Amino acid sequence: MISKKNFFTISVMMITVFFLFMVTGGAKIVLSNYGTNEYYPSGLTVKDTSLTSDVSAQNGMLYLGDSKEVYDRLEEWCVYNKRSLFEIPHGFAYGESGVDFSMLVIDGATLLEEDIPYILSCEKEGITILFATVPSCDFLKAHTEIAELMGIRTIQNEATTLVGMRLYEGFLLGGEAVYEAGEDTPSYYEDLNLRVPWFILESASKVYMSGYLNKAYKDADASYTPPIIWRYNTKNTYVYVVNNDFMEELSALGIYTAVESSRDEISVYPIINSQNMVLYNFPTITNENSTEMMELYSRDTINFIETLVWPSMTAASSANKLIPSFMISSKLDYSNNLSPSEEVLSYLMELVRENHGEAGLSLKGYSDVDGSKKLETDLDAFRSELSEYNFYSCYIGDLSVEDALEDLAENKEEDVNLLISDYSAKENLIRAKDDVIAISPTTDSQYYSYKKDFTLKSVETALGYSLFGQEMDNLIYPKTEENHLQNFAEDYSGTLHTLYEDYEAFDATSVTEAGNRIRTYLNLQYESELSVEKDKLTIKTNIIGEEQYFIVKTAGKQIQSMSEGQFYELEDGVYLITTTAAETVIDIGEKTNSWWSYFR
Amino acid sequence: MSVNSIVTTELVKIFVAYFLTIIVPPAIVFGEKLKKRDLPYSFRLMAYLLIGNGFVINLVLYLTLAHICSKATLVIFGFGFYIFMALFLYEVKIRDILHNIRYTVEKLGGGFLGRKTFRAHLRAHIQNGAKRLFSGTIGVVIHNPLEVLGFIGTIGLVLYIFVSNDYWNLGYTASDLPVHNYWINALGENKPFVAGVYPMGYHSVIFFLHMVFGIDTYVLLCHWEVVTIVLLVSSIMAFVGYVCGKHTGLSFGAACLFVMPTFVYTNVYSRFEMGIPQEYAHVFILPSLMFLLEFFVRRREKEEGRLVPSTLCWMLFSAGLSLTISIHFYGTVVLLIFCIGVGVAHLPLVFRKRYFFSLMKSGLLALLIAILPMGISLLMGNEFQGSMNWALGVIEGTTSSTTGNSGNGIIADLTDDDYTDDLEYYAFLEKNGMLDESMQSAYEDVQVAAGKAPSKNESQNIKELVVSKVNFVVSSLYDSIKEHLYCGSEENAWLIYAGMIVAALVCLIGIIGWFLPWNFARAYLSMGIGVILLWVILASKNLGIPSLMDTNRTKTFLITFYGIIVMFGLDFLLRGILFFVKKRWIHIGASMVLCAAMVLGFYAGGWIQSPLVLEANETNGAILSLKGIIKENKDFTYTIISANDENQMVADHGYHYELSTFLKKLHLFQGGAFSDAYSNIENTDDGDIFIPSSKVYIFIEKVPIDYGTSYVNSGQSISEEGAKQPIPVTEGKNIYSGENRWICMSKMYYWAKAYQELIGEDMRVYYEDDEFVCYEITQNINSNYNFAIDYGYNDCGEGEVTLDD
C-alpha cells in the first residue's frame, strides 16, 4: 500500500521529468531554425577559368604529343595552378619557342624520331621531362638514347600482365596503397590497366609505383618488379615516366603536382581543402512506389526513408566525419499525381539541420522530366515550409551549365551559384562561368574500385578536394538486388570509409562552403620564397581575410612554428597550412627528439 | 641534448642499474645475517659485490645454456632466487605469508580492519623496511663523517682522472670490444660460447644489465671502465681499511697513490680506460684476499655448537676466486700469487688439517662453480676460444707473449729480445760448431745473465758471487720498474729504490710479526710477497726466467697493489708513533692528515696527473649518430653502412652492411647503358646493391682514425687521391687498418657525393663535423634504390676482389 506522501512525491517527479522532456524537445524545434540555410556564399567572385597564355610567365609547361586526353588533363592542371601551357609540333627545333618553361610533358606513345633532338636538348638544359605515356618498345630499342634518358636498362618483357599495383608512400597524399585483388575481391575492383611493358631500371631510379608480378616470377628480387611511375636522374635533370594511362584521366592532376613538388627539397602549393558528400534527389517527400517498398521493407516509402535510409546515410557521414549535402527533390517520378508531404519535409529538414547538413535543389530526376518543370514542382512543394530557405547549390546531372542556369533563372532561383554536375572526361573538375562555380564529383557511385581510389588520391594531392556524389533514386525504384538498402548501405559506407579514412585531416564542408573555398582557391595568386640559411619559408598571397590552404612538403624536416595561422602534419614531412594573412612566415627545422627520450 | 648530458645520463643509468641488481638484492637478503656474523660494513659491501656478481654470472650462463634466457626468465629467476633465499634464511613459510594475506583481506572485507588503519600499517611496514635497509649506510655516514668525506674526495679524484675521457672520446677505447660486444649479443641468442669456450663472467654481467634495464650493450661497454675503476678503488679502500684498522685515512692514500702519480707511465693506466674483462676480474682480487685473511684471523668460529674454521669466510673467498676464473684467468693467476703470500704469512697454520681442508674445499668449490658452465659447453662439443689456447700457452711457456693475441688479432706491442732466445741461438751455434771466438764472450755473458752458468769469478769468491747475484736481481727489478712503470726524471729515480725499500721493510715487519700475534703484520707479509712476486714476473725477462704474464698486464696489476704496500709502511709508522694513544679519532685524524699531506705534496710537486686520454676506435660523430639513429627509428627499419664496429653496436636495433662489401660490389657493377640483354632478376650479385630497409645510414670518417695501426700519413683527410687507389685486397678487419681505412673512406665519400646528386632530397646529411659525416637515405622498403652506380672510382686496379673476403 503506497502512502499518500509517496504517491505525491512520485507524481511530482513524473510530472517534472515529463515537463523536462517536453521542454527540450520543443526547444530543439524552436531553436534549430531549420527553415534557413546556415551556410552563406562568400563575396569573392570568379569570372572565368580560362587558361593563361602569357609567354612571359615563368614555370610554363610545354607539351609534345598528339593525345588530346593527355593535353586536356595537363591544361586543366595548368588552369588550377595558373600556369602557361604551350604545345609544340613534332620536329620542333630547340630554342624556337622563345618561352620560359620548366617542364616538358611528352606523350611518349606518339613520339617521333624527329622529336629526339629537341628532347635531348631539353635534358641538357636541365628542364624536367615527364613522359606521360611510354614510347613503344620497338621505338625504345631503335632509339636507345630515349631509353637511357628514361633510365631504362633493359626491356624485360614488352607486355606483362600484372596481378596488381602498389603505390608507394610519399608520392601522392594518402600514403601507400596496394591494388591487388584477392580471391574474394569483387571483379569491379580491378579496373586498372594491368598490361604494361616491364622495364628494368638503372641504378638510383626512384620508383613511386610498381606492379605485382604473378606467381611465375616469385623468385624475382622485389626491386626488379615492373615500374609504373618512376624518376630517373640523368645528372642534368630529372626524368619522370608514367608507364600507364593515368595521365589521360583525372588522376593526372595529382601526378603533375607530385612531380612538381618532388623536384624541390621544400615545396609549397595551394589547395582547396574541402571534402564533400552529396546525395542526389534525397530526401524525397512523396510516398511513391510504396507497394514495392512495403514488399521489400514492410513500410511505405516515406517511412522507409525516415527510419531506414536516413539513419544509414547519416551514420555513414558521421563515421567518416563528412557533412552531408542533400539535393532534395519533392518526388522522383513526376509522371504520377501523388502529392508531396509538407509534414515530412518539415521533419526531414529538422534532421538536415541537426546533422549540420545543407539542402540544395535538383534539376535532374529519376523520370525524364524537364529541369525547369521539375524545379517548379519542387519549389511549389517546398514553398510553405522553406519559404525562408536560401538554396545556393543545385544538382544538374548531365545538363550543361548554360541550360541549368537558364532553368534556375526561369524559377527565380538566382541565389544558386554552385552547380554539381555528373563527371565528364570532357570537362574540368571545376569550372567557373559568370560567377557561378560548377563542380563534378571525384567519386560517383557506391562501388569501390582501384582506379577510383587512385584517382581520389591524385585529386586530393593536387587540390585537397573531393566530392562523393551519390544517386539515391535506385533505392526507391530498385532495379536489381544491389539496389536494396542492405546491399547499398554496405557498399556505400564501405567505399566511403576506404576512400576517405586517409583524408580526415582535410575539412569536411557543405557544398556552399566548398564553393566558397573553391572561389578563394581560384582567385589566389601567391609567391613563396625559401630562405635556405634560416630555413624560413615565406608565403605571400593576394587574399586577405579569407582562409587559404597550402600544402608544404619539407622532405623529412619539420615545421617548428609559423607567424600567422596554423599548421598540421598530414604525413611525414607534409603539412597542411591554414592562414588568412597576406604574408606567412614558416620556420622549418630538423626533427628533434624531446630531452626525456634519452632517459628511456 | 648535449654530449655531456647524454654521457652523464648514461653513467647514472649504468650505476643505478648495477647498484640495484648487483648490490641491493644481496644486501636485502643477506645483510642481516652477515651483520650478525660480525662482518663490518666494508666487508659486507664486498660480500654483496661477490654474491651479486657470482649469482648474475651463473644465472645468465645456465639460462643461456638451457636456451631459455630472456628478459622474463632473467627477472623471474633473478628475483626468485633472492626471494627463495630470504624465505630459507629467515625461515619464513610461504603458507604463513599466504595465511597472513588471507587474514588481512578477510579483515578488510569484513570491516574489522579499516582502510585507513590498513594503509597506516602498510606505510609503517614500508618505512621500517627502508629504515632497516639503509640504516647501515646512514649510520656509517653519520658516525664517520671524515671517512665519508675522504671517500667522496677520493672517488671524485678517480672520476676526474678516469671518467673525463668518456666525455671526450665516446667510442670503444679497446679494439677488442667489438668482439666482446659480439659475444654479449650472442648471449641474447642463447649462444653462451659463440666463439668457443671462454670465461664469460664479464659478458654475463653486462648482458644482464642490458637485458633487465634495456641499456644498450655498446653503451655499457663504452662506460664499463668507470664501473670497473670505481669498484677497484672501493675494493682498495676496503682492503687497506681492513688491514690498517683505525688508520682509515691510509685507505684513501692507497687509492690516491694508485691513480695520481705522474711519474708512472700513462700507458700503465690505459687498460683501466678500456673496460675489458681482465680489469673487471681485477676488482675481485682484493675482496677475495680480505676474506682469506679474515679466515685466518678468525681461526675457529662456533657453528652449530662446534668450533670450526669460518665457513662464511672460506665460502666468500671461494666466491671471489670463482669470479676471477669466470671473468679472466689472469685475475686468478694474480689472486693465487697473493694467496701464496697469504699462505707463507700463515705458516704453519695453513697446513693444519682443518684449515687446509677448508681451503681445499674453497678452491675446489670455486673451480667447480666457475668451470662447470664451461665444462658443459665443452661437453656439448664446443672448443676453446683461440685466445684461451694462447693464454694457456703463455702460462705454460709454450707461447710467446709477444706474438699472442687476445682474440681479435691485435698484436701485442712487445718486441724485445729475451735471453732465452739468445741462449737457444748460441747453443745452436755451439752444437753445430759455428761459434767463433768473437761470439764466445757474448755467449758466456748471456749464460751468466740467464743464470745458466757461473760467472767467471764464482770460484774466486763466493761472497762476491752472492753480492753480484743480489746486485743482479736488484738491478733487474730496478730496470724493469724503470722500463715499464717509472717515467719520472733521473733526479727522482730514488723513488724506485724507496719503493723497493718500503716493500722490503713491509716484508720484514711481516716476518717479525709472524712471531708475534700481529694479524696486520701477516697481512703486510702476504701483500709484500705478492707484490714482490708480481715484480719478479714483471722483471722476468731481465732475470732470465719464463714469463707467466706479459708485462703490459703485469704492470696494471702491480701499480694497483704498490700503493697498498706503501700505505702499510705508513701504517706501521703510525702504529709505532701512536702506540700509546687509545683515542680512535686521533688515529683517524693522524692518518687523514698523512693522506692529505701526501696529496698536497703530490700537488705541490706537480705529480697529480691530468685526466687520462685514450683515443677511441670510433669518432664521436659516429657514436652520436648511432645514438640518434637508435632513438629516432623503430627497431629494424634501418641499415647502417660502416666500417665494422657498428655491426655489433646496432645489432639489437637495426641492420648493418659492411662498408668493404659495399665497395667491392661497386667494383663489380657493370651498368650505365641500355642493353637488349634480359636482366638476371633472381640474383643481385652481379653488381646491383639493394639494401632492404626504409632508412640507410652511411658512416664516413672524413679524417680516418688510426684503427689498430698508424701509417706514414696518419691523420690525413679523405681525398680524391685516396679514392683513386685500388680497393685493399686483404683479409678481415685489415681492410680498415692504417692506410686501407683512408682508401675505403675516400671511396665511400665520393660515392656518397655522387649518389646524393642523383637522388636529391632522399639523401641528406644526418650529422657532420670536421672528422665525420653520416648520410641518411630514405627509400621505399618495397622498391629499394639500387646503390650501384658508376661514381668514377669503382675500378680497384689489378687486385682481384671477391665478395668472400
Does pLDDT of B724 surpass 60?
yes
- Whether residues A156 and B628 touch (CB distance < 8 A) is answered with no
Q: What pLDDT, on the 0 to 100 scale, is given for residue A410?
A: 87
Domain membership flag for residue A54: no
Does pLDDT of B437 surpass 70?
no
When scoring B668, B669, B780 by the number of chain A Cβ atoms within 10 A, the one with the most, hence best to mutate, is B780
A78 touches A51 (CB < 8 A)? yes
* Angle, vertex CA B99, rays to CA B94 and CA B100, nearest 5: 100
Q: Which residue of A has its CA nearest to B6?
A: A598
Q: What pLDDT, on the 0 to 100 scale, is given for residue B406?
A: 38
Greater confidence, B244 or B308? B244
Does pLDDT of B238 surpass 70?
yes
Domain membership flag for residue B407: no
Domain membership flag for residue B795: no
Domain membership flag for residue A213: yes
Greater confidence, B122 or A56? B122
Q: Which residues of B touch A166 (CB under 8 A)?
A: 782-783
Does pLDDT of A189 surpass 50?
yes
Same domain? For B214 and B342 the reply is: yes
Same domain? For A446 and A481 the reply is: yes
DSSP-assigned letter for residue B2 = -
Q: What pLDDT, on the 0 to 100 scale, is given for residue B798?
A: 54
- How does the average pLDDT of chain B come out, rounded? 85
Q: Is A220 on the interface with B (CB under 8 A)?
A: yes
A226 touches A198 (CB < 8 A)? yes
**Tens of pLDDT along B635-654?**
999 999 999 889 999 999 99
Question: In sequence order, what are the residues at sequence separation of 6 or more whose Cβ sits closer than 8 angstroms to the Cβ of residue B267?
Answer: none
Same domain? For B384 and B527 the reply is: no
Same domain? For A332 and A417 the reply is: yes
Domain membership flag for residue A134: yes
Does pLDDT of B470 surpass 90?
no
Domain carrying residue B293:
3-396
Same domain? For B532 and B630 the reply is: no
**Tens of pLDDT along A138-164?**
999 999 999 999 999 999 999 999 999
A131 touches A100 (CB < 8 A)? no
* Strands laid side by side in the A583-589 sheet: A526-531, A536-541, A583-589, A558-562
Same domain? For A258 and A278 the reply is: no
Q: Specify the residue for cell string 675503476.
A: B229
Same domain? For A449 and A529 the reply is: no
**Tens of pLDDT along B57-67?**
999 999 999 99
Same domain? For A343 and A417 the reply is: yes
**Tens of pLDDT along A234-268?**
989 999 999 999 999 999 999 999 999 988 878 99
If pLDDT is split at 50, 70 and 90, which confidence band does A276 have? Answer: very high
DSSP-assigned letter for residue A198 = E
**What's the Cα-to-Cα distance from A382 to each of A35, A38, A286, A404, rounded to whole Å?**
10, 17, 12, 20
Does pLDDT of B752 surpass 70?
yes
Same domain? For A430 and A530 the reply is: no
Picking from A166, A200, A204, the nearest residue to B785 by CB comes out as A204
Buried b (16+ CB within 10 A) or exposed e, B730-747: eeebbbbbbbbbbbbbbb
Same domain? For B431 and B374 the reply is: no
> Is B326 exposed, middle or buried, given 0-12, 13-18 or 19+ CB atoms closer than 10 A?
buried
Q: Is A265 on the interface with B (CB under 8 A)?
A: yes
Q: What pLDDT, on the 0 to 100 scale, is given for residue B402?
A: 44
Same domain? For B40 and B154 the reply is: yes
* Strand pairing report for A536-541 and A526-531: antiparallel
If pLDDT is split at 50, 70 and 90, which confidence band does B32 have? Answer: confident
Domain membership flag for residue A177: yes
Q: Is A548 on the interface with B (CB under 8 A)?
A: no
If pLDDT is split at 50, 70 and 90, which confidence band does B415 have? Answer: very low
Same domain? For B242 and B330 the reply is: yes
Q: What pLDDT, on the 0 to 100 scale, is given for residue B452?
A: 57
Same domain? For B137 and B7 the reply is: yes
If pLDDT is split at 50, 70 and 90, which confidence band does B31 have? Answer: confident
If pLDDT is split at 50, 70 and 90, which confidence band does A457 have? Answer: very high
Q: What is the greatest pairwise CA distance in chain A?
A: 107
Domain membership flag for residue B414: no
**Tens of pLDDT along A417-449?**
899 999 877 788 998 887 889 999 998 888 899
Q: Specify the residue for cell string 692529505.
A: B596
Domain carrying residue A539:
524-595
Same domain? For A263 and A298 the reply is: no
If pLDDT is split at 50, 70 and 90, which confidence band does B495 have? Answer: confident
- How many structural domains are present in chain A? 3
Q: Which residues of A touch B684 (CB under 8 A)?
A: 221, 223
Q: What pLDDT, on the 0 to 100 scale, is given for residue B412?
A: 35
Amino acid at position A325, single letter: S
Please tell me the distance from the alpha carbon of residue B636 to that of residue B652, in angstroms, as a whole number: 8
Domain end among A494, A518, A542: A518
- Whether residues A204 and B671 touch (CB distance < 8 A) is answered with no
Same domain? For B476 and B544 the reply is: yes
In the predicted model, what is the mean pLDDT of residues B265-284? 90
**Tens of pLDDT along A572-587?**
889 999 999 989 999 9
Amino acid at position B142, single letter: I
Domain membership flag for residue A200: yes
Picking from B631, B673, B784, the nearest residue to A597 by CB comes out as B631
If pLDDT is split at 50, 70 and 90, which confidence band does B685 have? Answer: low
- Cβ-based contacts under 8 A for chains A and B: 118
If pLDDT is split at 50, 70 and 90, which confidence band does B480 have? Answer: confident
Same domain? For B40 and B144 the reply is: yes
Domain end among B604, B635, B654: B604
When scoring B7, B783, B787 by the number of chain A Cβ atoms within 10 A, the one with the most, hence best to mutate, is B783
- How does the average pLDDT of chain A come out, rounded? 88
Please tell me the distance from the alpha carbon of residue B543 to that of residue B540, in angstroms, as a whole number: 5
Q: Is the dihedral of CA A72, A76, A77, A81 positive or negative?
A: positive
Does pLDDT of B73 surpass 50?
yes
- Whether residues B692 and A222 touch (CB distance < 8 A) is answered with yes
Q: Which of A477-481, B307-311, B347-351 has the highest mean pLDDT?
A: A477-481
Domain membership flag for residue A585: yes
Domain membership flag for residue B554: yes
Does pLDDT of A340 surpass 70?
yes
Q: Lowest-confidence range among A539-543, B2-6, B48-52, B390-394?
A: B390-394
Please tell me the distance from the alpha carbon of residue A501 to that of residue A519, in angstroms, as a whole number: 26
Beta bridge partners of A180: A164
Q: What pLDDT, on the 0 to 100 scale, is given for residue B446?
A: 64
Looking up residue A185, the CATH number of its domain turns out to be: 3.40.50.880
Mind giving me the DSSP string for B722-758? HHHSPPP--SGGGGGSHHHHHHHHHHHHHHHHHHHHH
Q: What pLDDT, on the 0 to 100 scale, is given for residue A600?
A: 43
- How many structural domains are present in chain B? 3
Q: What pLDDT, on the 0 to 100 scale, is given for residue A218?
A: 67
Q: What pLDDT, on the 0 to 100 scale, is given for residue B673?
A: 65
Amino acid at position B183, single letter: W
Domain membership flag for residue B445: yes
Q: What pLDDT, on the 0 to 100 scale, is given for residue B803?
A: 53
| Complex ipTM tops 0.85 | no
Same domain? For A470 and A565 the reply is: no
Please tell me the distance from the alpha carbon of residue B500 to that of residue A554, in angstroms, as a whole number: 71
Q: What pLDDT, on the 0 to 100 scale, is given for residue B688?
A: 85
Same domain? For A75 and A171 the reply is: yes
Q: How many helices (H) and strands (E) does chain A have?
A: 16, 27
Same domain? For A299 and A227 the reply is: no
Does pLDDT of B438 surpass 70?
no
Amino acid at position A170, single letter: G
Domain membership flag for residue B790: no
Q: From the CA of A462, how many Å to the nearest CA of chain B?
A: 20
Q: What share of chain B is helix, strand, coil (3-state, %, to 5)?
A: 65, 5, 30
Domain membership flag for residue A450: yes
Domain membership flag for residue B771: yes
**Tens of pLDDT along B12-28?**
999 999 999 999 999 98
**What's the Cα-to-Cα distance from B199 to each of B58, B288, B323, rounded to whole Å?**
11, 18, 10
Same domain? For B586 and B626 the reply is: no
Q: From the CA of B385, how many Å to the nearest CA of chain A?
A: 36
Q: What pLDDT, on the 0 to 100 scale, is given for residue B407?
A: 36
B275 touches B497 (CB < 8 A)? no
Q: Is the dihedral of CA A215, A216, A218, A224 positive or negative?
A: negative
- Whether residues A223 and B669 touch (CB distance < 8 A) is answered with no
If pLDDT is split at 50, 70 and 90, which confidence band does B800 have? Answer: low
Domain membership flag for residue A345: yes
Same domain? For A310 and A439 the reply is: yes
* Structural Rg of chain B based on CA atoms: 30
Please tell me the distance from the alpha carbon of residue B638 to that of residue B635, in angstroms, as a whole number: 8
Greater confidence, B605 or B239? B239
Same domain? For B432 and B297 the reply is: no
Looking up residue A397, the CATH number of its domain turns out to be: 3.20.20
In the three-class reduction of DSSP (H, G, I as helix; E, B as strand; rest coil), residue B196 is classed as: strand
Please tell me the distance from the alpha carbon of residue B737 to that of residue B711, in angstroms, as a whole number: 9
Same domain? For B330 and B437 the reply is: no
Greater confidence, B680 or A399? A399
Domain membership flag for residue B537: yes
Same domain? For A132 and A97 the reply is: yes
Domain end among A219, A246, A268: A268
Domain end among A499, A518, A537: A518
If pLDDT is split at 50, 70 and 90, which confidence band does B434 have? Answer: low
